[in-house]
Structure 1
Amino acid sequence: MGRYNPLLHGHLRISLSLRKPNLFWVSAAAPLTSVILSTILVFLLRNKVHKIAIIGELPKGVNPPSSNMLYFSGPYLALAIKTGLVTGILSLTEGIAVGRTFATIKNYQVDGNKEMMAIGLMNIAGSCSSCYVTSGSFSRSAVNYNAGAQTTVSNIIMASAVLVTLLFLMPLFYYTPNLVLASIIITAVIGLIDYQAAYKLWKVDKLDCLACLCSFFGVLFISVPLGLGIAVAISVIKILLHVSRPNTRVLGNIPGTLIFRNVNQYREALRIPSFLILAVESPIYFANSTYLQERILRWVREEEERIEANKENTLKCIILDMTGTSVHVPLELQTVTAIDTNGMDTVSELRKILEKRSLQFVLANPVGNVMEKLHQANILDSFGLKGVYLTVAEAVADISSSFKPQP
């Protein structure tokens, strides 16, 4: 007998459906037909072929009720609660991941709250009928999708078919070969692998690509819960990295406008002489306040070193001479959407440190809730009337007007 190739089988099914849409039923009926024909073939050749792995004997009937076996006390209650929490999180993650995969393909929305309620109610009912912890099945969903299912009625029909099979048809699957069941799952899932998306992730974000690959290989070689758990852990680490080390950028003015942009991103953006304009792209709170303070002070040191290194430049020296050695540091706060007590302490500490170095520290464009918290903490009083501005351009214009040219 020749070796069965499930990928070739799936390719033929898909090609036939694409070339002749009227024959979509052939693709839909292919899995069931494969099971029936392979079972009959193995049954007829059972005395000649002994190396084919088959399902074997399967008990028929539904699970007995187990509500009388639920206990809410005992030495294993704490272990059951911890295991239940972990299992529930993984089950919900898997279910939502499967749902979003097919939602992307079929262009519909997935409501996470409804998914959580459905999975929770399903497992509550299952715990009363000796069921295993259940979630959204990726393999069965893929088979259902490839069969052409369009509505949830397909789930009702599938559940009814499973019930009838459990009650009456289980002995018929004794000679069903395992390789046919595996091929059905492989051909259903293989079309969901998006190589181009993985390559795009690699080009755009290496950590996202790492999470994708770890999830893929974890699910493929270990288990679905562990694979998803690894991906979630990597995503959480990525979030913590971004939160604890937010981006800070130096802004420059685009000539002829009042627009200030990142000097490293816009070549036409020019630094304002005697000003170091910084922007923080994150809320300021306990997780990043220490890092931001150190980073801003490092920006100040680097700016002073740059000014000192370029003092022989004619234009630079004249501008620096007009303002002395002082550098004004407006901190652009439009992207700072929130601040906590640690963040406010950091802002206040920065002002004190920079004042000791004869540097003026002002805030530009703080959002409403940040402004309110700074006011309630009496930090705005320490900045004074010339310490907070609506825009960076206003801060630069007002502070520049106070410069006194040297004779």
Structure 2
Amino acid sequence: MDETQHPQLEVISHERTERTGWVLDSPEPPNLFHQLITSIKSKISSLHSKNKNQSTANVAFSFLKGVFPILEWGRKYKATKFKNDLMAGLTLASLCIPQSIGYANLAKLDPQYGLYTSVVPPFIYAMMGSSKDLAIGPVAVVSLLISALIGKIVDPLVDPVAYRKMVFTATFFAGTFQAVFGLFRLGFLIDFLSHAALVGFMAGAALIIGLQQLKGLIGISHFTNKTDVVSVLEAVFKSFHTPLSPLNFVLGCSFLIFILMTRFIGRKNKKFFWLPAIAPLISVVFSTLIVYLTRADKHGVNIVKHFKGGLNPSSVHELLLKSSSSDIGEAAKIGLICACVALTEAIAVGRSFASIRGYRLDGNKEMLAMGCMNIVGSLTSCYVATGSFSRTAVNFSAGCETVVSNIVMAITVLISLQLFTKLLYYTPLAILASIILSALPGLIDVHEARRIWKVDKLDFIICFATFLGVLFGSVEIGLLLAVCISFMKVLVTSIRPSTEVLGRVPGTNSFCDVKQYPMATKISGLLIKRINSPSLCFANANFIREKILKLLTEENEENTKDSIHVLIIDLSNVVSIDTSGIIALEELHKELLSRGTELALASPRWHVISKLKLAKLVDKLGRGRIFLTVEDAIEACFDSKMSTLNSC
């Protein structure tokens, strides 16, 4: 080697040593307790800085504005916006009234409870919610959950009062859980129902709901309380051995065709967006008139009959909070399931329309708003309410400006409860079944299922397993399968993380996976391995160690002339390490030494290098085997090789 190059190499070596010092001599990272205290202090100081120049009244008003956004935007509300909100609210009510009656029937409650649920919760949400478009009320999936889960505990036909009390109690717990999620920012809990699981769950629930509507469409008097497809179809086939009135089927199918035709017209011509929205109400009005004028109820047509109007009655005395612990436990479990499903659907719908309109939806505020509206709803004869996709789409298409459209809808429903409930006595059950059936195609997203299949096969397995679980098992089995398979996916990824062999990309100083970038070249005598896991812990440490040793053996067998002298592990993706991970690195170091191979660590993160120093692994490896970058590690290996050659 040219002696004039020695000073330059010494400078490069000195700079590299200095960079290694930056890694090893970095300050101790803050511990968990220190991080918690710092987070609390920063929040307190930020609140203090915001409020130090404000009076107590202003501070209180700022707090109230955070809880009740209506105090913020309500002061800027203009009459020009009210015209659009009024039209959207009236259009929404025309869809909401028949749907709410149908969903109450699906939840195995008297029809007025569906309308009650479309009065109080929308009022509360209008004051506390952050979405301009979300339409609040009962929805098909939650109604099915209510009837499926509570129907196993209390038979609504045998003891309707006890069933209703359990529904209100479950609603109270659902609201409590939702409010707690919002207050303590625990929204991540609903993420355990992944997007793929939700697609499968919605599709399975839609088919079950559709099959259950055959009861009303055909006019079956006695039907199964089970929700699996086998039991439902068995109940349908058994019904054919009993006398049935074909008028139910003719009436239901006629108006179902009418509703679907109006939906087709509305999609083809956006000017007629209001037509599919009012089609259910037109169907209810006309079918009720037909039954009343022809006295079709005397000829086998099943009608609603029981329909109590008036204001929402108090249901405080009906909550089972003083009952046995088993009843409270069951109600809490059902409430938690309904809370998660309702939140997942509402936030997904709300975020979709918020992105279209270009504003941000505050997830924690949404959870708190929905929690409060369901708690108050449980005290005023309502069951679990949430955001509906079909009604939100109508609200958006009708040109809503703010959540005032929800208030208009709620007032319209309230007026209907006061004035028109007696007219709905003759409403045929077949029409309610046809209205629910017309809303189901929106729950089955075949296009999205295909996209999931193309993008991620494991996600599709979650989707399909959830679908089959709901269809052939029960609603809770489907949800349990979704959560369990999602957990398994996370565990498999954590326990069996991938590792990459790195090579230099020509013309750059970048080191990338040689499988992804075939042009990247390996460096003779070196093996560079990157661990693709955020944690090196007890769950995966031994797996990673064995995988590295196996690869090293294969590399040496393939290149017998130029065996691996140095193994460089890139730790840039590893953000945490525990004692099992450290022991695995120590054992790897010993095994490599016995094979005549050295170990070098590159790009260790802050918490990782801190623990390696505390465990004395840095001393065992030597300071000269810890590097800031992979490139530094490679240069050090070549310098060491050249020094060995020069000494020879």
Tell me, yes or no, whether TM beats 0.5: yes
Cα distance change of structure 1 residues 63 and 18 upon mapping to structure 2, 3 Å threshold = closer
User: Scaled by the length of structure 1, what TM-score is found?
Assistant: 0.82
Per the alignment, residue 143 of structure 1 pairs with: 391
1:264 aligns with 2:509: no
Which residue type is aligned with residue 355 of structure 1?
A: L
How far the C-alpha of 1:223 sits from its partner, in A, is: 6.5
Equivalent residue number for residue 530 of structure 2: 279
C-alpha displacement at 1:237, in angstroms? Answer: 1.9
Matched, 1:171 2:422: yes
Question: Structure 1 residues 33 and 2 mapped into 2: Cα distance closer, same or farther (>3 Å)?
Answer: closer
Q: Do the aligned partners of residues 233 and 197 (structure 1) sit closer, same or farther apart at CA in structure 2, a change above 3 Å counting?
A: same
1:364 to 588, 593, 602: 602
Return the alpha-carbon distance in structure 1 between the equivalents of residues 640 and 341 of structure 2. 58
Structure 1 residue 288: Cα displacement: 1.9
Residues in 1 aligned to 2:474 and 2:547: alpha-carbon distance in whole angstroms: 42
Moved more, 225-234 or 261-270: 225-234
Map 1:2-401 onto structure 2 (within 5 A).
Answer: 4=253, 9-47=258-296, 50-61=299-310, 64-68=313-317, 76-77=324-325, 80-81=328-329, 83-85=331-333, 87-105=335-353, 107=355, 109-132=360-383, 134-136=384-386, 138=388, 141-146=389-394, 148=397, 150=400, 151-191=402-442, 193-216=444-467, 227-283=478-534, 284-307=536-559, 311=560, 317=561, 320=562, 325-401=563-639
Shift of 1:352: 2.4
> AA paired with 2:518?
R
CA distance in 1, matches of 2:475, 2:317: 31
CA distance in 1, matches of 2:614, 2:438: 62
Report SS of the residue matched to 2:500: strand
Structure 2 CA distance for aligned equivalents of residues 306 and 3 of structure 1: 73
CA contact (8 A) 2:320 2:327 kept: no
Q: How far did 1:166 drift? A: 4.0
Tell me the SS of whatever aligns to 1:265: coil
Distance 1:366 1:21, change over 3 A: same
Residue 241 of structure 1 deviates from its aligned partner by 1.5
Note the C-alpha offset of 1:81. Answer: 4.3
Distance 1:52 1:392 in 2: 79
- Conserved 8 A contact 2:350-2:361: no
RMSD of aligned residue pairs (Cα, Å):
3.3
Shift of 1:103: 2.8
Contact 2:496 2:540 in 1 (8 A): yes
How far is the alpha carbon of 1:367 from its aligned partner? Answer: 2.0
Contact (CA 8 Å) 1:252, 1:270: kept in 2 or not?
Answer: yes
Q: Is the 8 A contact 2:347 2:363 kept in 1?
A: no
Letter aligned with residue 292 of structure 1:
I
Q: Partner amino acid for 2:484?
A: A
| Equivalent residue, structure 2, for 1:314 | none
- Structure 1 window deviating more from structure 2 (188-197 vs 357-366): it is 188-197
TM (norm. structure 2) is: 0.54
- Amino-acid identity (%): 37
Q: Deviations over 1:212-263 (max 9, x none)?
A: 3344555667766654443333222211221121111111222333221111
More off after superposition, 98-107 vs 65-74: 65-74
CA shift, 1:78, in A, is 6.4
Q: Find the aligned partners of 2:610 and 2:337 in 1 and give their Cα distance.
A: 38
Matches of 1:8 and 1:130 in 2, distance apart? 34
Shift of 1:365: 0.9
Q: Which has the higher helix share?
A: 2
Matched-pair contact (CA < 8 Å) for 2:514–2:520: yes
CA deviation string 1:188-215 (max 9, x = no partner): 3424543322112101111211223344
Q: 1:191 to 1:109 in 2, by over 3 A?
A: farther
Alpha carbons 2:259, 2:279 under 8 Å: kept: no
- Equivalences, count: 389
Partners of 1:69 and 1:186 in 2: how far apart?
A: 32
Instruction: Name the CA distance, whole Å, in 2 between partners of 1:42 and 1:221.
Output: 37
Gaps of 5+ in 2: 1-249
Alpha-carbon shift at residue 121 of structure 1 (Å): 1.8
Structure 1 stretches of 5 or more lacking a match? 312-316
